[in-house]
């Protein structure tokens, strides 16, 4: 079922029965430019009407009747099919609406008589004007090739499509790369490529077609056919989706994101406007319509009794208000997105939708909406997080926090909370996967801290090593794993300033556990320090050393006095250290050390 919401206003534009009406005859076909509605009548005349239902221009296109109109918008050329008194076969004419003669006629710059006496059923023209196609009631179509401005004599070719089954629709979809022609009968849908006056068959798309006038090209360049069972979509290569909706369809058109249907339900004929994808009805009214056209940003409905109605879509603000008042939040979101509202504006609707669901107790569904608000500058994540702090909502909270990190919106507190969720649920795989993701940026120290507090020392060490957070790396090795030798080895790889800083911090404990090795390291640090390079740095170091062969290396020496306190309760090692540095120091530092 389609939800109902009224988003269009109906206004009477005029009537052929009203006094002063610019036309009295029966309308048989219609088209439109950006400025004028074009109507063809059964008397052979063509009328161009202004928006206020006044006559702009009119001319007699045929002596007997006009059957079909098609407009080439690129060149503002009107193509007509009809009959003059001297022809039994349909006659195609090309009119230049940009230039009118002194007698009030647009320039007729080419015409051709179709080599068939069968009545025409439909008409379409390519954007480059080099291909004009006329569908016939006998199941054939006439392809007229050549540019009617440049060639006086045009080529025509009759192609059989489905014998005895009338052509009920010809539609061209245009993209940057190509134009696709769709040919439709009651029992067949085919696609063709259109190129410089020629068509090439692509594929038989379906063995079910539609009634005459029940197809249209959508805003995204798909073909949509309206059949009794519903709406069916196609691309050049195959079926592209369907939406069920049972009714007898008489006419179908497309405008923006709406499908416009003239249908019979319960014996009554009405016109309905649907957003087929979002499954809602935007308008419905009893009309016995004969034609549907689009002009001046409105839907134009011509009725069989001579009336002309304008259906005008409401302003976006009013539409959103109506939708949300009826709790049709998904409809409101679709409207705002199609209207290219900002992320903050769309996010505000998602927030209201989430609050609506949360108030109904649908916490899981509410979270789906709240997750869509991430990144909105006007919505604080904390306002959503606090709704899901109960332990029973741990899964929803975890999903929300994960999304914050995915979109780069997480703070240190969010990271801490996420890892608390992981550790409470003992989700080791998620912790491991999270830590391995190189593209994620988060507060690494916060994660390490949470992992240590939860006893996941391996994860903490893994992250500290990968992100080269030396202080945490050493802290975990020394305090959690008691891997003193490895800790000292890490310090030996550090640059001079960092090595000094870290040995001052961990030196006393390392000296207690590794007296000889630590003392030896301090001796080197205070006399001639050279960092030990890791395996992946050796090649680079060799290259640097080659480039510096001719340069005299300056020895790096720390001040021995800075490390005397480390040797508390280690007199033998202190003596050994002092004797070594005295023997290898020079100048004032040597004299100073000799006082100890």
Number of Cβ within a 10 Å radius of residue 462:
18
Query: Which pLDDT value is given to residue 267?
Result: 87
Region 73-100: mean pLDDT is 93
Query: Which pLDDT value is given to residue 466?
Result: 87
For residue 183, give the nearest of 142, 240, 241 by alpha carbon: 142
Which tops the pLDDT comparison, 217 or 305? 217
For residue 210, give the nearest of 189, 239, 192, 236 by alpha carbon: 189
Distance, CA of 477 to CA of 257 (rounded, Å): 62
Share of the chain above pLDDT 70, in %: 94
Q: Which of 271-275, 535-539, 542-546 has the highest mean pLDDT?
A: 271-275
Region 324-339: mean pLDDT is 92
Kindly report, residue by residue over 453-480, the tens digit of the pLDDT.
888 899 899 889 988 999 999 999 999 9
Asked whether the beta carbons of 89 and 137 are under 8 A apart, the reply is no
Distance, CA of 508 to CA of 504 (rounded, Å): 8
Sign of the C-alpha dihedral computed for residues 483, 489, 493 and 495 taken in this order: positive
Query: Which pLDDT value is given to residue 535?
Result: 59
- Listed in sequence order, the DSSP H helices in 213-362 are 316-325, 329-338, 343-359
Residue 289's H or E segment, with its range, is strand 289-295
Confidence of residue 88 (pLDDT cuts 50, 70, 90): confident
Query: Which pLDDT value is given to residue 19?
Result: 62
Helix (H, G, I), strand (E, B) or coil at 278: coil
Kindly report, residue by residue over 143-188, the tens digit of the pLDDT.
999 999 999 999 999 999 998 899 999 999 987 778 999 999 999 9
Asked whether the beta carbons of 189 and 208 are under 8 A apart, the reply is yes
Place of tokens 């069972």: 229
Kindly report, residue by residue over 378-420, the tens digit of the pLDDT.
999 999 999 999 888 999 999 999 999 989 898 888 988 998 8
Distance, CA of 421 to CA of 404 (rounded, Å): 14
Distance, CA of 398 to CA of 85 (rounded, Å): 78
Distance, CA of 94 to CA of 112 (rounded, Å): 9
**Whether residue 548 has pLDDT greater than 60:** no
Confidence of residue 136 (pLDDT cuts 50, 70, 90): very high
| DSSP structural state of residue 476 | I
Which residues of the chain are in CATH 2.130.10.10 domains? 22-247
Query: Which pLDDT value is given to residue 321?
Result: 95
Confidence of residue 590 (pLDDT cuts 50, 70, 90): low
Query: Which pLDDT value is given to residue 486?
Result: 95
22-247 folds as Methylamine Dehydrogenase; Chain H (2.130.10)
Query: Which pLDDT value is given to residue 539?
Result: 52
**Whether residue 502 has pLDDT greater than 50:** yes
430: CB partners within 8 A, 6+ apart: 422
78: CB partners within 8 A, 6+ apart: 31, 38, 46, 69, 70, 71, 72, 94, 95, 97, 106
Kindly report, residue by residue over 11-30, the tens digit of the pLDDT.
988 877 776 677 778 899 99
Kindly report, residue by residue over 260-269, the tens digit of the pLDDT.
999 998 889 9
Distance of CA 517 to the CA centre of its chain: 61
Query: Which pLDDT value is given to residue 424?
Result: 85
Distance, CA of 279 to CA of 330 (rounded, Å): 10
Q: What angle do CA 252, 254, 257 make, to 5 degrees?
A: 135
Query: Which pLDDT value is given to residue 100?
Result: 96
Asked whether the beta carbons of 102 and 114 are under 8 A apart, the reply is no
Place of tokens 């989700």: 427
Helix (H, G, I), strand (E, B) or coil at 343: helix
For residue 223, give the nearest of 178, 182, 272, 263 by alpha carbon: 182
Place of tokens 């022809």: 87
Confidence of residue 550 (pLDDT cuts 50, 70, 90): very low
The radius of gyration computed from the CA coordinates of the chain, to the nearest angstrom, equals: 40
Residue 125, beta-bridge partner list: 132
Backbone angles phi, psi at 280, to 5 degrees: -140, 150
The whole-chain average pLDDT of the chain stands at 90
Distance, CA of 407 to CA of 278 (rounded, Å): 27
Confidence of residue 436 (pLDDT cuts 50, 70, 90): confident
Kindly report, residue by residue over 275-298, the tens digit of the pLDDT.
998 899 999 999 889 999 999 999
Kindly report, residue by residue over 486-496, the tens digit of the pLDDT.
999 999 999 99
């Amino acid at each position: 079922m389609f939800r109902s919401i009224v988003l269009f206003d109906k206004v009477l534009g005029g009537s052929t029965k009203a006094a002063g009406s610019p036309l009295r005859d029966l309308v048989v076909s219609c088209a439109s430019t950006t400025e004028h509605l074009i109507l063809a009548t059964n008397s052979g005349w063509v009328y161009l009407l202004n928006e206020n239902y006044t006559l702009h221009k009119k001319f007699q296109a045929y002596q007997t009747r006009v059957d079909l109109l098609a407009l080439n918008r690129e060149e503002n050329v009107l193509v007509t099919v009809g009959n003059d008194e001297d022809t039994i076969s349909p006659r195609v004419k090309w009119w230049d609406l940009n230039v009118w003669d002194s007698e009030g006629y647009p320039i007729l710059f080419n015409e051709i008589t179709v080599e068939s006496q069968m009545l025409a059923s439909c008409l379409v023209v390519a954007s480059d004007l080099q291909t004009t196609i006329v569908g016939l009631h006998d199941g054939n179509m006439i392809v007229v090739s050549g540019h009617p401005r440049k060639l006086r004599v045009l080529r025509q070719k009759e192609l059989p499509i489905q014998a005895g089954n009338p052509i009920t629709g010809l539609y061209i979809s245009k993209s940057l790369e190509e134009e696709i022609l769709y040919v439709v009968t009651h029992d067949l849908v085919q696609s063709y490529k259109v190129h410089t006056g020629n068509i090439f068959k692509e594929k038989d798309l379906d063995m079910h077609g539609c009634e005459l006038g029940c197809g249209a090209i959508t805003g995204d360049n798909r073909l949509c056919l309206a059949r009794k069972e519903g709406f069916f979509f196609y691309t050049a290569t195959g079926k592209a989706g369907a939406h069920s909706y049972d009714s007898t369809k008489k006419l179908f058109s497309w405008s923006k994101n709406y499908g416009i249907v003239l249908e019979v339900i319960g014996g009554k004929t009405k016109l309905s406007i649907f957003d087929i994808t979002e499954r809602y009805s935007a308008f419905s009214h009893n009309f016995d319509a004969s034609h549907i056209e689009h002009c001046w940003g409105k839907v134009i409905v011509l009725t069989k009794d001579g009336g002309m109605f304008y259906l005008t879509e409401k302003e976006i603000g009013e539409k959103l208000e109506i939708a949300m008042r009826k709790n049709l939040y998904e409809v409101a979101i679709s409207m705002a997105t199609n209207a290219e509202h900002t992320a903050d504006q769309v996010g505000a609707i998602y927030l209201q939708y989430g609050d609506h669901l949360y108030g109904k107790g649908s916490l899981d569904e509410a979270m789906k909406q709240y997750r869509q608000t991430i990144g909105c500058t006007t919505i604080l994540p904390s306002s959503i997080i606090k709704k899901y702090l109960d332990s029973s909502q741990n899964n929803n909270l975890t999903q929300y926090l994960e999304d914050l990190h995915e979109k780069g919106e997480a703070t240190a507190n969010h990271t801490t909370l996420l890892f608390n969720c992981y550790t409470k649920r003992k989700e080791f795989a998620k912790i491991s996967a999270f830590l391995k993701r190189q593209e994620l940026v988060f507060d690494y120290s916060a994660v390490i801290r949470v992992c240590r507090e939860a006893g996941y020392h391996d994860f903490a060490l893994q992250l500290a090593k990968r992100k080269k957070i030396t202080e945490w790396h050493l802290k975990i090795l020394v305090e959690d794993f008691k891997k003193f030798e490895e800790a000292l080895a890490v310090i030996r790889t550090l640059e001079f300033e960092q090595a000094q800083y870290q040995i001052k911090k961990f030196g006393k404990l390392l000296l207690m556990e590794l007296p000889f090795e630590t003392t030896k390291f301090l001796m080197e640090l205070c006399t001639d320090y050279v960092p030990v390079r890791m395996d992946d740095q050796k090649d680079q170091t060799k290259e640097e050393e080659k480039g510096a062969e001719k340069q005299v290396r300056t020895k790096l020496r720390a001040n021995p006095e800075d490390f005397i306190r480390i040797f508390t309760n280690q007199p033998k090692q202190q003596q050994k250290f002092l004797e070594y540095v005295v023997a290898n120091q020079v100048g004032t530092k040597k004299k100073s050390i000799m006082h100890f």
